[in-house]
Amino acid sequence: MKAILEVDRVSYRWPNNSAALINCSLQIPKPGLWMLVGGNGSGKSTLLRLISGLLEPKEGEIRLASIAALVFQNPDHQLLLPCCGSELCFHLPVGIAPQAELIEAALDQVGLAGFTNRPIHSLSGGQKQRLAIASALLSGAELLLLDEPTALLDPESQGAVLALIRQLCQQTATQPKPLTALWVTHKLEELHHCDGALRLEQGNAGPWLTGASMASALEGLPRGRAGG
């Protein structure tokens, strides 16, 4: 099967000439929840911006088998419209009519059934993050790029958002086509829920490890150098 994502020897320099990624390669072979770790400034957010098309590689190539959508750490930086229904309509692909059933189904999928007319300012942080995920799903994306999506949430909401993404990335009878998520984290406990984890270091990606192996490899490192 063709890889869902191929990052092929990608390099990226900022206008001030500092290198964020240097000859970085990785592949996501199949649907599932894949995690990305690395110390502060190792290039994780830059990589997600390159994959989503917000930035263009200076060298190398990024190949995608589907649409990718970025979910930010802070949903307030992403949600634009006054209420849940209008926010979701905004993300529908061009040519798709904003039918109420589509919006309701998307809200239902992320556990926000009945929220169509709810003002966004009245949502909790976890609910806003779910709405951002629903927007990404409605856009037709099959690859979700999540940049520390639980960093601003309380422990209960962190667990709920992780469980939601885990469920969307699993094949079930009601979900024949599981999604793929690339999830950036500094939380070692989250690694135990992924299908594979890799570490960015000095602009380069290491090999995929199991989440448990990655967590134990990082446990001994000082905070900020690794994932934690």
Ligand X SMILES: Nc1ncnc2c1ncn2[C@@H]1O[C@H](COP(=O)(O)OP(=O)(O)OP(=O)(O)O)[C@@H](O)[C@H]1O
- What is the x/- site pattern for Mg ion, positions 22-61, by CB under 5 A? ----------------------xx----------------
Partner interacting with residue 135 (select from ligand X, Mg ion, none; CB below 5-8 Å by kind): none
Comparison of 5 and 103: residue with beta carbon closer to ligand X: 5
Q: For Mg ion, which is the closer residue by CB, 44 or 91?
A: 44
Q: What is the DSSP letter of 185?
A: -
Q: Name the binder of 182 from Mg ion, ligand X, none, CB < 5-8 A by kind.
A: none
Cβ-contact 15, 55 below 8 angstroms? no
**Please, what is the minimum distance in Å from the beta carbon of residue 45 to ligand X?**
3
Residue 185 touches which member of ligand X, Mg ion, none, C-beta under 5-8 Å by kind: none
CB of 18 to ligand X, least distance (A): 5
**Three-state secondary structure call for residue 119:** strand
By the 8 A CB rule, do 45 and 185 touch?
Answer: no
Binding site for ligand X (CB under 6 A): 14, 16, 18, 20, 38, 40-46
How many whole angstroms separate alpha carbon 55 and alpha carbon 49?
A: 6
Rounded Cα distance between 105 and 138, Å, is: 10
Q: Least distance (Å) from Mg ion to the CB of residue 70?
A: 12
Which partner from the list ligand X, Mg ion, none does 154 bind, CB cut-off 5 to 8 Å by kind?
none
User: CA-based Rg of the chain, rounded to a whole angstrom?
Assistant: 17
Tokens representing residue 169 in the block: 């990335």
128 is in the binding site of which of Mg ion, ligand X, none (Cβ under 5 to 8 A by kind)?
none
How far does CA 188 lie from the centroid of its chain? 17
Find the helix or strand (DSSP H, E) in which 105 lies.
helix 100-109
> Which CB atom, from 141 or from 200, has the smaller least distance to Mg ion?
200
**In contact, 47 and 38? CB cutoff 8 Å:** no
Rounded least distance, CB 177 to Mg ion, Å: 29
User: Are 87 and 131 spatial neighbours (Cβ–Cβ below 8 Å)?
Assistant: yes
For residue 133 the two structure tokens come to 């995920």
Residue 211 binding partner per list ligand X, Mg ion, none, with a CB distance cut-off of 5 to 8 Å that depends on partner kind: none
In this complex, which beta carbon is closest to ligand X, that of residue 31 or of residue 38? Answer: 38
Which C-beta is closer to ligand X: that of 166 or that of 187?
187
Sheet arrangement for strand 204-205: 68-71, 143-147, 180-184, 32-37, 196-201, 204-205
Site for Mg ion, rule CB under 5 A: 44-45
